[in-house]
Amino acid sequence: MKKYLVQFKPFLIFVSIFFLTYIVLTVLYKFYLNGYQGEELDAVTTITGKNSEQLLKFLNYDIIIQKSSQNPWQEIILNGRFIAQITEGCNAVSVMILFVSFVAAFSGNLKKTLWFIILGLISIYILNVFRISLLIVLSYNFPQYGKFLHNIFFPLMIYGYVFILWIFWINRFSKYAK
């Protein structure tokens, strides 16, 4: 048994750090969400919606993203037409937790690890705002593709970006980089 523990030590360390980080961050996020009552919408989701609205207004779209009066989401109205809603799951925090857990599990130099995590989280947030904004415009112009865009294309976009960040991290900065 000891032979296998020694042989698989790097893998076991990776898995342990990944899951420990993932569980701790997920529990902390759940505590954060539990601070919001019933119809309240968490601050991260609210800011994400506001930033998407600001981006589309900057691009001269007639957009309103407002808190639903009775539900925990934001309503999206483009050119006077209800398009969709932004819920807690749209804020990409779960994707960010996954990103941080993976980078931590492949950590290298502490300073580089922290900088990569910070810059990665900022870039994921910005990509998510662009993703939501583009989804709004495409759902308005091509409503027949709404489910495909929301359920397949845009998740592939954000998870694909995170995957590229991971590959970049492993090859450039992690302790396994050559």
pLDDT digits (tens, 9 = 90+) for 51-97: 999 999 999 999 999 998 888 899 999 999 999 999 999 999 999 99
Average pLDDT over residues 14-38: 94
**What is the structure's pLDDT at 122?**
98
118-173 pLDDT tens trace: 999 999 999 999 999 999 999 999 999 999 999 999 999 999 999 999 999 988 87
**What is the structure's pLDDT at 177?**
59
**What is the structure's pLDDT at 178?**
58
Note if the pTM is more than 0.85: yes
Length of the chain: 178
HSE of 41, CA atoms in CB hemisphere, 13 A: 24
Query: Would you call 63 helix, strand, or coil by DSSP?
Result: strand
**What is the structure's pLDDT at 40?**
86
Kindly state the tokens that stand for 66. Answer: 């407002």
Single out the residue of 75, 89, 85 nearest to residue 44, CA to CA. 89
Q: Residue 86 belongs to what H/E stretch?
A: strand 81-86
**What is the structure's pLDDT at 107?**
84
Least confident of 8-12, 81-85, 97-101: 8-12
Q: How confident is the model at residue 176 (pLDDT cuts 50, 70, 90)?
A: low
- Residue 2 pLDDT exceeds 80: no
DSSP 8-state class, residue 174: B
- Residue 174 pLDDT exceeds 80: no
| Alpha-carbon 29 to chain mean position | 13
Radius of gyration (C-alpha) of the chain in whole angstroms:
19
Single out the residue of 27, 25, 146 nearest to residue 78, CA to CA. 146
